[in-house]
Amino acid sequence: MADSKSISLVKAREDDAKFYWLDEGRSAGGFVREIDHSTYHKGTHPLFNGIKIVDCDTHFTEPPDLFQKNAPASMKDKLPRVVRVNGADRWFIGDRDFGSIGGNVISKGRDKLLGKLAFTTYDEIHPGSYMVKPRLAEMDEMGVWAQICFQNGGLTQAGSLLALNDEDLAMAVIRGFNDACADRVAESNGRIHCMATLPYWDKDLMNAEMRRIIDMGIKGVVLPDRPERLVAGYLGEDGKVNPFWEGVFEMCEATATPLNFHINTSLDAGSAIWDNLRFTQRLPINAMLHTLGVCATMSNFMMSGILDKYENIKIGLIESGIGWVPFVLEMLEHQIDEMRTMEDHGLKRRPKEYFAKNFWVSWWFETFAPQHMLHEIGIDRVMFETDFPHPTSLYPGVQERLVEQLGSYDYETRKRVLERNAVELYGLEL
């Protein structure tokens, strides 16, 4: 086995934002599935009356005027703007390409694109992808009360922002993104909660922005799964918590602000996929491997000792699925005994105990796990998501799917997994 210091890691690059979404997935082609919405249940199914369903993984596409509408005149020419290039809308900062507008497969006519990652312009996509009022209307149609939202485009990719060599501009992007998160909470009357981002390249800036987003009432922050791609890892060379991250961890624990690891890049998915598979052959494998990356991030936290120093920190493993949880925990339980991990490193808890105290997971496409594994995973650890408006999202037919997945459970179980777990993780006030 290679020494840990020799393991290669793809470093953050200045063009990370440009390639955040593959252009191959946005080229001509694909299949538009026309949807007859009259055949689907509108609003909340009677089984879920009295439950304010929280959708714990969606995406809010950055609006085209996000950075321009309130910008001072001196900054307008510098801040991100949308430019149409070869028929596709893309973000630019100055002359630097910061990538596409992200994954949007729901059309403005409420049909769904299959076989590609996204429509390419704002003109084509559902207005609820990037505007609050249409988003609320679509949530009402789906029977969803609140949504936890993550970024869609790559504008906040730290490697690309750092490469601007303009700290004031980079921070204007970060702050503008986070300010918009707070604005959406107010505009939606507490129904839309977007997760914040941080300037991961500088400890002092990061701690100051973490304090600011907490003070603004933002309900969570997204952290990188492998921060050493850009700066310091979560552990120092002495194996203890790296001082670079102590401030963030301390603030998150003290205020019950959850860390979110959304899908994952801790594993190089491309390196495990065979050469010469075509695009729509690679994508399902890529998605599966990202889930394994979430398993790795969870395991890293459990083995690291971080959860012993910050015993009450809350971690959401989002867009991860749930069926893998019992298997991975059972494997870790066996391995730590065989490898004497607890004895050698003084860990206070076993993997199942860490999971039950510090982690939450979410499902969307699964039927077997929500039907048969909730109690094994933990009734108070599981949340629901739709992944709107991304590829593979549960759209349409959200209520029909929930009836299939949870219809056999009693009301209190349905309420716990669809509402209360998310309320407790994100500190929501419903």
Q: How many CB atoms lie within 10 A of CB 65?
A: 12
What sign has the CA pseudo-torsion 21, 197, 182, 392? positive
Ordered DSSP codes for 125-143: B-GGGT-HHHHHHHHHHHT
Report residues of the chain scoring pLDDT below 70.
Answer: 1-9
Please check whether residue 398 is in contact with residue 140, taking contact to mean a CB–CB distance below 8 angstroms. Answer: no
What is the predicted pLDDT for the residue at 76?
84
Amino acid in position 279: F
What sign has the CA pseudo-torsion 15, 168, 171, 210? positive
Render the burial of 346-362: b for 16+ CB within 10 Å, e for the rest.
ebebbbbebbeebbbbb
What is the predicted pLDDT for the residue at 9?
66
Give the whole-angstrom CA distance, residue 388 versus residue 129: 8
What does residue 288 show for φ and ψ, rounded to 5 degrees? Answer: -65, -40
Give the whole-angstrom CA distance, residue 180 versus residue 182: 5
Name 46's Cβ contacts closer than 8 Å, sequence gap at least 6: none
Give the pair of three-digit tokens for residue 310.
């910050």
Name 253's Cβ contacts closer than 8 Å, sequence gap at least 6: 310, 311, 312, 313
Domain residue spans in the chain? Answer: 45-71+130-426
Q: What is the C-alpha R_g of the chain?
A: 21
Give the whole-angstrom CA distance, residue 106 versus residue 91: 20
Which helix (DSSP H) or strand (DSSP E) does residue 281 occupy? helix 279-304
CATH of 45-71+130-426 given 3.20.20.140, 3.30.70.580, 3.20.10.10, 3.40.50.150: 3.20.20.140
Give the whole-angstrom CA distance, residue 229 versus residue 101: 24
- Of 133, 135, 60, the C-alpha closest to 101 is 60
DSSP code, position 235: B
What is the predicted pLDDT for the residue at 2?
35
What is the predicted pLDDT for the residue at 1?
31
Give the whole-angstrom CA distance, residue 333 versus residue 355: 12
Q: Are strands 382-384 and 192-194 parallel, antiparallel or unpaired?
A: unpaired
What percentage of the chain exceeds 90 in pLDDT? Answer: 86
